[in-house]
Structure 1
Amino acid sequence: MLKRYQSRSFQISSATKADFSHVVIGGGIVGTAIGAELQSIEGNNVLIAEKNEHLGMETTSRNSEVIHAGIYYPKDSLKGQLCIKGKQKIYEAFEKGDFQVPLQKCGKWVVAQNDSEKEYLDKMYNFAKDLDVPVSFVPTSLGNEKLPLIRAESAILESPTTGIISAHDYTTFFLTQFELHEGTLGLKTELVDVQYDSSTPCYRLNFKESDTGNFFEITTDNLINSAGLYAQKVANMVLTPDRHFKSYFSKGTYFSYSPIDPIKTSSITDKLIYPCPNPNASSLGTHLTFDLGGQLRFGPDAQWLDIESADAIDYAANDKNLTKAYEAIASYFPKIKLEELSASYSGVRPKLYSKEDSTKKFSDFYIKEEEGFKGFVNLIGIESPGLTSSWAIADYVKNIYHGLS
């Protein structure tokens, strides 16, 4: 169902002109941010098409809600650049009072338990300094005094610009901007087919309304694929078979903490706690975070799914990897007991590479206008730090179309 804000009805344009200047497929945090930025440009007429009944119901609502500092990603990568820029935009807007989104700049400790992990943190320190991202080492003696329940045998690297944010409210922030500029929102609107007319050029999109089963067609000058878990599927509707993408998915389960002996979260930690990450930052490990209400949670673990379509995803949280997660958590929080943990919820990351390839090479964001398809911008593999990067990603896509600095 299409809804144009501050307008009583949706009017189809004449046959000689596309119905929209831009159509964004996908209403997660990234798609909503892109829609808001594009709609803010005078003369643009943007549609956000989301197949679910609400925005942000998939990857956006199933993550740690962490504002990442940007210390894990190569300097020349999109993940590195857009994470840092996205973080800065969040904090700058918050400090100016222009950003009524709940957040907390709580900081993070990355902890090392042996000499090899300490060497890794030394490299992270130098890397972060090269990026001009604030980090510092906390003496382990001071760390043990400050947070005696957290184990850090060899080193503690502190990242003071790491924080937490409400993903729901952040999405609503962009939706509000989109509404104020009279964008058009299509909820329960699933893309089923795309036809590209290179002579115009324009895109003819066929949608299905999930509640009625009705089909309808619209045209657009430009098409943005921000479909998250379905991005490869959408890309393959447009691209020729020799350029098709294959979908890969990694499921992460989050574990809730219910201590047998009541204890205040603040007495455990007031910092997020991360172990040393895996190679190529393909996973940041089973870390300790908390929400804005102070509730502790651990995760995610990592389980690659042997499926070819996001339609086959089972989000049910289970205790299959509970013991493995417990062992990982106990390495830095030794007083935790297995029976105090339980599977809470899960999220799935859209991956650009397979499990094998992800351990061999760095998986960056794929954001580009596809050659031979004017105005078609593809966003593939937008996983963590997608939430942190979303505002900067929106700017990046806007710049592709409008060449803004």
Structure 2
Amino acid sequence: MNLALKQRLFHTNSRLSSDFSHIVIGGGIVGIATAAELQEQKGNKVLLVEKHSALGQETTSRNSEVIHAGLYYPPQSLKAKLCIEGKNKIYDAWSTYGLDLQKCGKWVVAQNEQEQEYLVKLEKNAKSLNVPVKFISTSMARKKYPLIKASSAILESPTTGIISAHEYVMFHQGRFENNEGTLGLNTKVKNICYNKSFLNYSVTMETMGEKEEKEEIEITGDNVVNAGGLFAAEIANMILPKDQHYNYYFAKGNYFSYTPEKPIDCKITDKLIYPCPNPNASSLGTHLTFDLGGQLRFGPDLEWLNTTNPNDIDYTPNPQNLEAAYNAIKTYLPAITQNDLAPSYSGVRPKILSPEQSKNQFADFIIREQNGFPGFVNLLGIESPGLTAAWAIAEHIKHIYHQ
């Protein structure tokens, strides 16, 4: 149900008569999963607002669609906990509901002794998290996929997979709407105000009607979830005092399509292929993935943007990054030529740490009820593995409200 097509909902000044129990801002995969989870709770009346005309149009639609196993993250981090829980929920739903996905597994490949030592540490971290991994023989790997180079070692992650991000969004949208949640598309949040006397929130929104007429409305909610993705810091800062404002940094990831100049006479791989990450980088390296149709692609790389305004982001993939991507890819796929690659699309990661800070610190998810604003839950820095973790993030938020 589109809020813009509903009868106008008027502001009320009592917690007992707020328009909604929860207002979820942002219709990416995390927002729709959260709205669906909250709407399933008896007595809740949830509104999900999204500024685009459909859900999942920004970060969700611009990622590699990988189901991450969770082996990279520190054991006590939210990223580790929620990635692993989210992965398990996806695979459980796969067996129950037939989600469109493939549990293909991945290889992390090492080309020298230093990288092999990294894989040993990665194996130890994965085992501490109960994430299944195993070393496999490089000679056996060469026989299976002769075009893939792994000079020193290969660590296999069997629970890594791929999923259709669009289908996963539709799955949670179905959960939400089947439980009579209210969906407000073409609806942009302009301001948020905490009504301290009534312990609720007034959210001012601009909606686009059937005739593309803009209308400003004010709606109240007992609770607000800020799942604004690239705009999450901006939304949080609408209500927070200036000394508590958040800063965001944006890191673009370019993806490259693969069309071989010369025919390939053997299968390249049916495993995702990841290089060992650069220790000073804030990403997992330019890796080989494929979609559910089997089409190979490479990415994302890492390109820090100068802007702090998400409205100024240019999503055109940067052709100047192609040579660096080629040099990274040929370390594990030597047969590739630069002409095999073409810029395809890009996505942008919302970062809570600057480029310099990211070299020395681990950036965990920030998911918390904002101090001084009861019921206002902020989600910041929700980058990879956000798609995998989305359902577990939703459950985490549900538990925040039931503490």
The TM-score, its normalising length taken from structure 1, stands at 0.95
Query: 158, 161, 177: which is aligned to 1:160?
Result: 158
1:316 match: 316
Distance of 1:190 and 1:9 partners within structure 2: 17
Q: Secondary structure of 1:358's match?
A: helix
Which residues of 2 match residues 41-120 of structure 1 at below 5 A?
A: 41-95=41-95, 97-98=96-97, 100-120=98-118
1:263 positional shift: 3.3
1:255 match: 256
Alignment CA distance shift 1:27-1:280 (3 Å): farther
CA deviation map 1:265-320 (0-9, x unaligned):
x7000100000023377200000000000000000111000002100000011311
Q: Work out whether residues 9 and 219 of structure 2, in 8 Å CA contact, stay in contact via their aligned partners in 1.
A: no
Q: Work out whether residues 2 and 10 of structure 1, in 8 Å CA contact, stay in contact via their aligned partners in 2.
A: no
2:299 match: 299
Alignment CA distance shift 1:10-1:89 (3 Å): farther
Q: Secondary structure of 1:321's match?
A: helix
Query: 188, 191, 195: which is aligned to 1:190?
Result: 188
Query: 157, 179, 182: which is aligned to 1:181?
Result: 179
One-letter code aligned to 1:202: N
Q: Is structure 2 residue 279 aligned with structure 1 residue 279?
A: yes
One-letter code aligned to 2:288: L
1:126 positional shift: 1.1
1:360 match: 360
1:238 positional shift: 1.1
One-letter code aligned to 2:387: L
Distance of 2:222 and 2:48 partners within structure 1: 14
Distance of 1:278 and 1:78 partners within structure 2: 22
One-letter code aligned to 1:161: T
Distance of 2:179 and 2:8 partners within structure 1: 15
Q: Secondary structure of 2:379's match?
A: strand
1:214 positional shift: 1.6
2:216 match: 215
RMSD after superposition: 1.6
Q: Work out whether residues 280 and 361 of structure 1, in 8 Å CA contact, stay in contact via their aligned partners in 2.
A: no
Distance of 1:77 and 1:199 partners within structure 2: 36
Q: Is structure 2 residue 27 aligned with structure 1 residue 27?
A: yes
Distance of 2:280 and 2:362 partners within structure 1: 5
1:113 positional shift: 0.2
1:3 positional shift: 3.7
1:13 positional shift: 7.5
One-letter code aligned to 2:127: K
Q: Work out whether residues 11 and 219 of structure 2, in 8 Å CA contact, stay in contact via their aligned partners in 1.
A: no
Unaligned 5+ runs, structure 1: none
Q: Work out whether residues 111 and 155 of structure 1, in 8 Å CA contact, stay in contact via their aligned partners in 2.
A: yes
Q: Work out whether residues 275 and 287 of structure 1, in 8 Å CA contact, stay in contact via their aligned partners in 2.
A: yes
One-letter code aligned to 2:273: I
1:212 positional shift: 2.0
CA deviation map 1:336-394 (0-9, x unaligned):
00011000000001111111111110000000001100100000000000000000000
CA deviation map 1:101-152 (0-9, x unaligned):
2100000000000000000000001111111110000111111111110000
1:262 positional shift: 2.8
Distance of 1:13 and 1:319 partners within structure 2: 49
Distance of 2:73 and 2:335 partners within structure 1: 32
Unaligned 5+ runs, structure 2: none
1:226 match: 227
Alignment CA distance shift 1:8-1:360 (3 Å): closer
Q: Secondary structure of 1:75's match?
A: coil
2:386 match: 386
CA deviation map 1:10-61 (0-9, x unaligned):
6558543111100000000000000000000011010000011110000000
Distance of 1:330 and 1:337 partners within structure 2: 8
Distance of 2:284 and 2:20 partners within structure 1: 40
Distance of 2:305 and 2:264 partners within structure 1: 36
Distance of 1:11 and 1:370 partners within structure 2: 26
Q: Secondary structure of 1:145's match?
A: helix
Residue correspondences, number: 398
Q: Work out whether residues 28 and 60 of structure 1, in 8 Å CA contact, stay in contact via their aligned partners in 2.
A: yes
- Range moving further from structure 2, 212-221 or 69-78: 212-221
Q: Secondary structure of 1:323's match?
A: helix
Q: Work out whether residues 9 and 217 of structure 2, in 8 Å CA contact, stay in contact via their aligned partners in 1.
A: no
One-letter code aligned to 1:377: V
Q: Work out whether residues 281 and 358 of structure 2, in 8 Å CA contact, stay in contact via their aligned partners in 1.
A: no
